[in-house]
Amino acid sequence: MAEQNIMAEAVKYVSRGSVATRKGFGDALLEIGRQDPDVVALCADLTGSLQMHHFQKEFPSRFFQVGIAEANMISIAAGLATTGKKPFAGTFAAFASGRVYDQIRQSICYSRLNVRICASHAGLTLGEDGATHQMLEDIGLMRGLPGMTVVVPADYSETKRAVKALHKHEGPAYLRFGRPSVPDFTLDDDGFEIGKSIELNSGKDVTVIACGIMVWQALEAARILEKEGVTVRVINMHTIKPVDKLAIVRAANDTGAIVTAEEHQVHNGLGDAVAHVCAETIPVPIEMVGVEDVFGESGKPDELMSKYNLAIEDILEKIYLALRRKE
């Protein structure tokens, strides 16, 4: 009976089709815009790419198109926040973090202003635009800023819930999402609380802690291993900062081995955050799936995910290694 229950949980999350997470951002932005007249939106010449055109059309007086001037956009967003407005400033992740780091640090974080930085087209799955635009360091950059909240939702539906949660959030926030269509599988019943992860699958042998599009990959890996008699706890760590320390400690204590998975450099991202918690509390074997200290290149998203070892088989390989180390 226990095995049947585990299998039932494993198939609880199924894809309802593929939708881009950036569409979830655009749809939710329009919804909260209708609910709250203090919501304003800013974009740096990428309105259609970030799906902000619906907000722009319905609320033209609350939308600010700044052109290719990302630093100016962040400064304007900070100014609007000082007047009580709730700005959502959107552009590609490469520009939303790296190009404007100084403005984010000085104008937003130092003053603890309520600006939501909305970073689309993150990670390798940006694809053909290549290494210069495939931002793989942004989680680390944002994690290091005092007072910054970092959120990386898993799919279209969770991106919508994340935007609505950030609408009510106080303080600086960085929301990371992507370009391609990906499986939409999370449930509204899961809810969304900043700083509180979601256990998607129970397991006692090993834990996979993932964020963003890697959450679906982790579930697929868990389904494969359950056929081999290995039960995998899968945790959707949608908030990288503040990270859910309690969930990590429980996972380490219950399963004795952890694998992290992220579409980001392994340095200074989710993996480092999890390892930090375990080092302070309950050290266990930890393996990390992520980009290994290299830049990306131009190519199709699926091919890049395989080349840079972010595919399902790479998660499986790291799970097997973690299990061996545990023994």
Q: Give catalytic residues, as residue numbers.
A: 70
Q: What is the C-alpha to C-alpha distance for residues 185 and 120, in angstroms, rounded to an integer?
A: 20
Q: What is the C-alpha to C-alpha distance for residues 25 and 161, in angstroms, rounded to an integer?
A: 9
Q: What is the C-alpha to C-alpha distance for residues 212 and 270, in angstroms, rounded to an integer?
A: 11
Q: What is the C-alpha to C-alpha distance for residues 270 and 275, in angstroms, rounded to an integer?
A: 9
CB 151 within 8 A of CB 173: yes
Residue with tokens 């939702």: 153
DSSP state of 257: -
Q: Report CA dihedral (65, 68, 74, 75) to the nearest 10 degrees.
A: -90
One-letter amino acid at 164 equals K
Q: Any residues with CB less than 8 A from the CB of 79 and at least 6 apart, and which? A: none
DSSP state of 193: B
Dihedral of CA 187/301/177/33: which sign? negative
